[in-house]
Every structure is written in C-alpha cells, then in structure tokens.
Amino acid sequence: MKSKTETLKECFNILDAEFGDKLTEQQRVYKKELFKKIIGEYPTEKIREMAITMIRTRKYSNFPRIGEMVEIIEGNKEEECEMAWIYLLERIEQTGYYQSVAFPKYPAVGAVIEVMGGWLKFLESMTKDQEVWIKKEFIKIYPVLKKRGEYPKYLPGYFELTNNAKGYENSKMLERYGMTLDGKKVKKIEQKKLQEVIQDVKQIENKQKF
C-alpha cells in the first residue's frame, strides 16, 4: 500500500497531466504546496477518489481550485445534512425509545445526538411543535461534528440505561462478598459471609412477595 506522500504526489501528477497545460512553473509549485497542505489532511482513499472523479467528470480544462477538490472529498454539505436528518428519522421509527441505536450510514449523527443530550432526551424533545427547531439545530451542528471525526459507537436506549443502573447497584452489593455479577468468586467466601448472602437473598425475596 502506498504512503500518503506517494498518493499525494501521484494524484497531483494525474491532475497536472490532465489540467495543468496552462500553469507556469511558479504556479505549479504553489499549487503543489497547497495541495499537500490542504488535501493532505484527508484520508488517502478519499484523495484518490477525488482525483479519479475529477478526471472522469470535470468539464473545464483549467487546473481545479483546491475548493473544488475539497467539495468532492466532503460532498455537498447541505445535501448530506438533509440526508442525515432523513436517516435519523428512519432510525427513530425503526428503533424507538427503548432500544440502543447506532448510525453506521451516517456515524456523525450519533455525535450530534450525544451533544444534544443523548438518545432518550432527544426523543423526548422531538414533539411536533419542536421538530422544526430541532432540525435547524441538527443541520447547524452536523457538519462541525462530522469534521471533528469523533463518533460514539452507539447510543444506549432505555433498557440498557436502566439495566446498567441496576447492574451497578447489584455489583456494589456483591463487592462486599468478593463476588462478580456472573457469580464467579474473586476470593474465597468465608462461611459467615456466605450466610450473609443467603440472608440478603431471603430479604429480597420476602420484599418481592408484598
């Protein structure tokens, strides 16, 4: 696999061969440095895809501006924001309030929802009256968080959050007996402590009867 430096050089040379006829040598040096500095920030595969797209689809013969290249790499931001919003609405319909949710197609959606308070809070705020304003906020935040590139793997739903809360309480209770939630012993339990466990279990069972 080629390094990013090699890919940058190869892609610039491809663009130069196709569109660089009218460049002076001084302009070529300047364009190359700008290309390395700005386009070099993007992933190797994106750079390669951009160069191929330019060759295949660009109608103008002059050397492309860096802004054109960035737009191809990042895509139309407004259009993507709209598509990401539609995708979010689909995930709301499919997943709902109780299940945990991921956004593999548009992973930046998860980052936006996280910033807006998390999955449960977001859904609770999504009333008919508030949806228009929430969408405006989403459209504004989405490009910023996408560029940052840090996305949660998924967002927990009601079931996971409540189970985690119960699990934390249970684990704290079991710590005093040297046990874990799966029942494995961390250390040997003394007979006296074993009796304490039995008594605690009986008390819980008695409470559940009432």
Q: What is the pLDDT of residue 190?
A: 45
Q: What percent of the chain has pLDDT over 90?
A: 58
Please name the residue ranges forming H helices in the chain: 4-19, 25-38, 44-57, 66-74, 77-95, 108-115, 119-125, 131-148, 158-175, 191-209
What is the average pLDDT value for the chain, to the nearest integer?
82
pLDDT tens digit sequence for 37-61: 999 999 899 999 999 999 999 999 9
For the full predicted model, state whether its pTM sits above 0.85.
no
What's the CA gap between 18 and 63, in Å, rounded? 8
pLDDT digits (tens, 9 = 90+) for 170-193: 444 445 444 444 444 444 444 444
Please tell me the least confidently modeled range out of 17-21, 62-66, 105-109, 192-196. Answer: 192-196
Q: Which among 6, 77, 75 has a CA at the least distance from the CA of 40?
A: 6
